[in-house]
Amino acid sequence: MSTRVRAFLMATLLAVASPVLASDPCADYVPQAKPQNASRDIVGQDIDQIMDRGFMTFAVYEDYPPYSWEDAGQPRGVDIEIARLIAEEIGVDPRFTFISAGENLDADLRNNIWRGPIVGGAVSNVMLRVPYDSAFNCRVEQVVFTGQYMTESIAIAYSHAAYPDGGPVPAYFRFDTVAVENDSIADFYLTSFAGGQLAQGVRRYPTMQAAMDALNAGEVMAAMGPLAQLEFGAGEGVSIHQPPLPGFAKSKWTLGTGSHFAYRGLSYTVDDAIFAALSDGRIARIFENYGLTHQPPER
């Protein structure tokens, strides 16, 4: 399963929350049994031991620009720079584990934060790009969710030549062509909108970057997906806007970090580092350096 499919699963998770009391999102939840055993690689991961050994590990998604990818063997991306910022605040070196997406967010957290993969590999101290949703968070007690650093949202990129009078809205794609990443939340939304009336205009690509390449080359009239990916891939003659999206349950979601429930001191330290960097503009500058708009998180 590709990392881009993972984006669809994250957004869907946030869109389909179970009904709970508005004042207490965990009111209907029966707590899970706490894990009684931990694998050997989890032992010795608290904040003091991390500082003593001089490095900390971060799980980031592979081949996922502009968030995290390798360029000539060097880690690059927004999430990479935020991880470096966290490590610098703690006074240690960052080490990166590039991970592929699991079947769902539960699997990613289980494999990379609190239990480890079934075969090979190890857990990381911190995982980046974890969606924050209170109804979900109380159901995964093995993970502490802190360090919210951005809001992601869905947008539409479009060709000036195709739309000289302004950007399109979803209804246009009943006749016009729009590029999406295959099996992404934008794909799901457009093909199910209005009883499938827009499906004929949808053109699917293996990645969002490939979808934007098609738009830049004039193969399609528009592209729909996460704002940061559209901004990163937009070429000359392409603009981006965020029109109303009728029927879209959750077109914006908050992203942060996850860490093992047994090491809350680490999670609070990570959150302090993120909060300081949000307050003094360092995180906004990271986005600016990649040509992206930083949408502040809800904290």
- The answer on 122 and 52 residing in a single domain is yes
Q: Is 204 a member of any domain? A: yes
- The answer on 145 and 62 residing in a single domain is yes
- The answer on 104 and 71 residing in a single domain is yes
Strand partners, 75: 70
Please count the structural domains in the chain.
2
Q: From CA 115, how far away is CA 38, in angstroms rounded?
A: 7
- The answer on 140 and 167 residing in a single domain is no
What is residue 237's three-state secondary structure? Answer: coil
- The answer on 234 and 222 residing in a single domain is yes
Q: Is 83 a member of any domain? A: yes
Residue 143: which pLDDT band, with cuts at 50, 70 and 90? very high
Can you read off the two tokens belonging to residue 156? 């539409």
Among 22-31, 143-152, 165-174, the minimum mean pLDDT is found in 22-31
Residue 24: which pLDDT band, with cuts at 50, 70 and 90? low
Residue 17: which pLDDT band, with cuts at 50, 70 and 90? very low
Q: From CA 47, how far away is CA 56, in angstroms rounded?
A: 9
Q: Is 199 a member of any domain? A: yes
130: containing domain: 3-17+45-151+251-289
pLDDT, position 25? 66
Cβ atoms of 157 and 230 within 8 Å: the answer is: yes
The pLDDT tens digits for 25-62 are 676 666 665 555 455 455 447 899 999 999 999 999 99
Can you read off the two tokens belonging to residue 129? 């790009």
Please calculate the CA angle 129-133-139 and round it to the nearest 5 degrees: 105
CATH number for 276: 3.40.190.10
- The answer on 145 and 50 residing in a single domain is yes
DSSP per-residue codes, 90-119: HTSEEEEEEE---SSHHHHHIIIIIS--SS
- The answer on 144 and 167 residing in a single domain is no
Phi, psi angles (nearest 5°) of residue 120: 70, 170
Integer angstrom CA distances of residue 134 from 56, 59, 127, 244, 273 = 27, 22, 18, 25, 21
Give the length of the chain.
299
- The answer on 173 and 63 residing in a single domain is no
- The answer on 168 and 147 residing in a single domain is no
* Confidence check: pLDDT of 142 > 50: yes
- The answer on 141 and 169 residing in a single domain is no
Q: Is 294 a member of any domain? A: no
- The answer on 208 and 71 residing in a single domain is no
pLDDT, position 140? 85
Q: From CA 200, how far away is CA 197, in angstroms rounded?
A: 7
The residue-averaged pLDDT of 80-98 equals 97
Q: Does the model's pTM come out above 0.75?
A: yes
Q: Is 28 a member of any domain? A: no
Q: Is 39 a member of any domain? A: no
